[in-house]
Amino acid sequence: MSVPNNMSNLAVSTITKALTKQFIIKLMKITQFRKNEDTIALSVMDLDILVNKIKTEIKSRPVSTFREHLRYTLPDERCMFANKLPQIIPAAEFRKVNGQKQMKNYNGIVELTIGPLSNKSEIALVKQKACEQPQTRCVFMGSSGKTVKIWTTFTRPDNSLPNTREEAELFHAHAYRLAVKCYQPQIPFDILPKEPTLEQYSRLSHDPDIIYRPDSVQFYLSQPSSMPEETTFREAVQAEKSPLTRAVPGYDAENAFLMLFEAAFRKAYADLREAGLELREGTWHPLVVQLAKNCFASGLPQEEVVRRTVFHFYMYKQEELIRQMIGNIYTECKGFGKNISLSKEQQLALQTEEFMKRRYEFRHNTQIGEVEYRERLSFRFRFNPLDKRALNSIALDAQMEGIPLWDRDISRYIYSNRVPVFNPLEDFLYRLPAWDGKDRIRALAATVPCKNPYWMDLFHRWFLNMVSHWKGSNKKYANSVSPLLVGPQGTRKSTFCRSIMPPSERSYYTDSIDFSRKKDAELYLNRFALINIDEFDQVSSTQQGFLKHILQKPVLNVKKPHGSAVLEMRRYASFIATSNQKDLLTDPSGSRRFICIEVTGVIDTNRPIDYEQLYAQAMYELEHGERYWFDQEEEKIMVENNREFEQVPPEEQLFFRYFRAAQPEEGEWLSPAEIMEDIQKGSSIPMSVKRVNSFGRILKKQEIPSKHTRSGTLYHVVRLITR
């Protein structure tokens, strides 16, 4: 495009930005993703085409069918018809690489979800309010028919968008927060907080009245260099007008009434006893009068009190009299709902529970043995450990609402059965989809270049053992076998080990364990799911015995500080190891606890991993009886393969210098001490009881002929050097 010479620089800049904006809009592709039982279908389309798909439903009417069945689905159940709707990913254009989604271009689209909404008038109101914002690109009803989706666009000040996934993730996280802050004050309903990942999707919807503005104003946002701080946006605490809800927060009207009525009844008896009135059989008038006074003070509706009183005394024939008595009390008394019959302790307990459930979400993480929390209606999408700072903040938040809570009250609630138990590993495993039949465990092992023909099968067996351990299938035996990757630096051994864990469970992976601190090392068996012994060659020979001990330890027996009882704790951890050195194993009898392989090239850690299907395969095979332990044949293979990774001790090297195994007709029978004594004379090698004992195991490993005598085991050898 040519520009006239007399055109100002400002005009040129304006035209350039406009053309750049049109170019970005033209390139914007929306990803549609559909996952069936055996296949994954991924396609892209222009935003204009998607708008038409939402506006006009296809003949099979999948969205309408989903909405119809959703009406009869319980709140905690999932409607299976949702799976028939493809996933729409607005944030970025994706392509399929090795069966996995990979970002191609970032779109800069942020999706906000408002709901749940109760009717069409609320949906229309939200759409109207969204359209009043010039940044709204499109707004439409969600697939459930109970939400509204708002799409708005972001770009950098020069009208460019991030090119790499790392930049896009940072940009998108900040863009989402800015969009929430701008739209929430204008929308009369809550924006549902969702973690702003690039893969965040919603189901294909149908809305004939979708509003689409291709020329909407874009938000400008400079490229951030880090993730935003997890600041929160507070929900509005509205003054509750209902005395019932004020008195018993967090309960529906029926349950609140029953609780207050029973409390008023109990207090009526106490009031009469305190006044010295003794109730005789058949005398119910004083009790009803006092009950009515207490119900009035508790703010209970008059008609409900009449109905419940008649039912309680089984006096349907006296209903009119009871109605008049209660009516007189409600007419004469003052201060409706000002003095409920619940005790102060009951009121505080109810207020505490309502406040905690409304403002926060808690869970007791059995993996780390701590309570975790996240604040509802906030940008805190992930659970964090509850520390003293958080406890004090919760107490202050409660006091700001007029609830007299102190940190001890918070602790009492948190460390009680009010907080549900959460096992992260089991939660991950039992939420997996059905396995599609593709072997991904051996494919993961195949990314490690090596010459060991048994590697993939042995890794597969170890992987099943690890997952079985997470499930807690066998508490009698531990996963005592560990893959050991040996190779030069830069071959991505540690990266491969870390990639075994799904991203959501990476906090239960560690490559830092100190075997000199034995108590802490044992506790790691419960705290972590996978432990990488990085730089295995740095584990000293004196620590090898302890390493063998914890590899085989099925459970932990822990004595808590200042306690006398010994607690049994579950073991979750499996082990994997890496090293740059090849002569690693010091156990002279050979080792069946390691799958040693020599890495011959750079491990392919850039290949995307479908973690759900990877672990779904393990779960499927375990549930269908696949063996997860190593049999004798596999142990024999490992022992034989590990010989090239063993450290050859000096006494073994010197033995073959001075001796060899004897044939039946030759040689002499000597004890290990006699052989060592002879070797010492020629080499000056130090001789000790420990070395003599280990030397016997060396001779046995080398299959030197032996026999048992009263004086101990003798070995049949021939001297090579005669003294």
Confidence of residue 23 (pLDDT cuts 50, 70, 90): very low
- Read off the pLDDT of each residue in 668-673 and give the average, rounded to a whole number: 84
Coil vs helix vs strand at 578: strand
Q: What is the pLDDT of residues 426-481, one digit of tens each?
A: 889 988 988 989 999 999 999 999 999 999 999 999 999 999 989 887 777 788 89
Outline where 194-300 has alpha helix (H). 243-247, 253-274, 285-298
Neighbour count for residue 197 (Cβ, 10 Å): 14
pLDDT for residue 318 is more than 70: yes
Q: What is the pLDDT of residues 147-172, one digit of tens each?
A: 999 999 999 988 899 999 989 999 99
Structural domain spans, the chain: 9-220, 244-342, 345-422, 441-645, 650-719
Tell me what pLDDT residue 209 has: 94
Q: Tell which residue, 330, 354, 345, has the closest CA to residue 246.
A: 354
- Read off the pLDDT of each residue in 8-26 and give the average, rounded to a whole number: 47
Cα–Cα distance measured from residue 600 to residue 450, given in angstroms and rounded to the nearest whole number:
5
Tell me what pLDDT residue 349 has: 78
Angle at 391 between CA 386 and CA 396, to 5 degrees: 145
4: which residues sit within 8 A by CB, 6+ positions away?
Answer: none
- Read off the pLDDT of each residue in 676-694 and give the average, rounded to a whole number: 73
Q: Any idea which residue has 């996240």 for tokens?
A: 374
Tell me what pLDDT residue 449 has: 95
Q: What is the pLDDT of residues 476-532, one digit of tens each?
A: 778 889 999 999 998 999 999 999 999 889 989 999 888 888 888 888 988 899 999
Least confident range from 63-72, 120-129, 322-331: namely 322-331
Q: Are 54 and 86 in contact (CB under 8 A)?
A: no
> What proportion of the chain, given as a percentage, has pLDDT over 90?
30
Cα–Cα distance measured from residue 635 to residue 276, given in angstroms and rounded to the nearest whole number:
85
Q: Tell which residue, 682, 684, 708, has the closest CA to residue 696.
A: 708
Cα–Cα distance measured from residue 637 to residue 458, given in angstroms and rounded to the nearest whole number:
10
Its CATH class, for the domain covering 441-645, is alpha beta
**When comparing pLDDT for 208 and 267, which is higher?**
208
pLDDT for residue 253 is more than 70: no
Q: Any idea which residue has 């409304």 for tokens?
A: 358
449: which residues sit within 8 A by CB, 6+ positions away?
Answer: 599, 600, 601, 602, 603
- Read off the pLDDT of each residue in 21-32 and give the average, rounded to a whole number: 66
Q: Tell which residue, 190, 150, 119, 202, has the closest CA to residue 358.
A: 190
Alpha-carbon dihedral 671, 673, 677, 679, rounded to 10 degrees: 70
Strands 360-365 and 370-375: antiparallel
Percent helix / strand / coil, the chain, rounded to 5: 45, 15, 40
Q: Are 669 and 718 in contact (CB under 8 A)?
A: no
Tell me what pLDDT residue 260 has: 78
Coil vs helix vs strand at 208: coil
3-state secondary structure 71-112: CCCCCCCCCHHHHHCCEEECCEEEEEECCEEEEEEECCEEEE
pLDDT for residue 79 is more than 70: yes
Helix axis angle, 689-701 to 672-683, nearest 10°: 110
Q: Tell which residue, 489, 642, 494, 466, has the closest CA to residue 577.
A: 494
Q: Are 374 and 360 in contact (CB under 8 A)?
A: yes
**Most confident segment among 9-23, 398-412, 641-655, 682-696:** 398-412
- pTM exceeding the 0.85 threshold for the entire prediction: no
- Read off the pLDDT of each residue in 631-635 and give the average, rounded to a whole number: 90
Tell me what pLDDT residue 234 has: 40
Q: Tell which residue, 539, 712, 609, has the closest CA to residue 98.
A: 609
- Read off the pLDDT of each residue in 31-55 and give the average, rounded to a whole number: 85
- Read off the pLDDT of each residue in 580-601 and give the average, rounded to a whole number: 80
CA dihedral for 669, 671, 676, 682, sign (positive or negative): negative
Tell me what pLDDT residue 316 has: 67
pLDDT for residue 29 is more than 80: yes
Tell me what pLDDT residue 246 has: 45
**Most confident segment among 248-262, 304-318, 475-489:** 475-489
Q: Are 561 and 567 in contact (CB under 8 A)?
A: no
- Read off the pLDDT of each residue in 643-661 and give the average, rounded to a whole number: 77
Beta strands in 600-662 (DSSP E): 659-661
Confidence of residue 589 (pLDDT cuts 50, 70, 90): low
- Read off the pLDDT of each residue in 296-323 and give the average, rounded to a whole number: 77
**When comparing pLDDT for 321 and 134, which is higher?**
134
Q: Tell which residue, 431, 379, 428, has the closest CA to residue 196.
A: 379
Neighbour count for residue 489 (Cβ, 10 Å): 8
- Read off the pLDDT of each residue in 69-81 and give the average, rounded to a whole number: 73
Q: Across all residues in the chain, what is the average pLDDT?
A: 82
Outline where 454-500 has alpha helix (H). 455-471, 493-499
Q: Identity (one letter) of the amino acid at 687? A: M
Cα–Cα distance measured from residue 579 to residue 542, given in angstroms and rounded to the nearest whole number:
18
706: which residues sit within 8 A by CB, 6+ positions away?
Answer: 699, 700, 713, 714, 715, 716
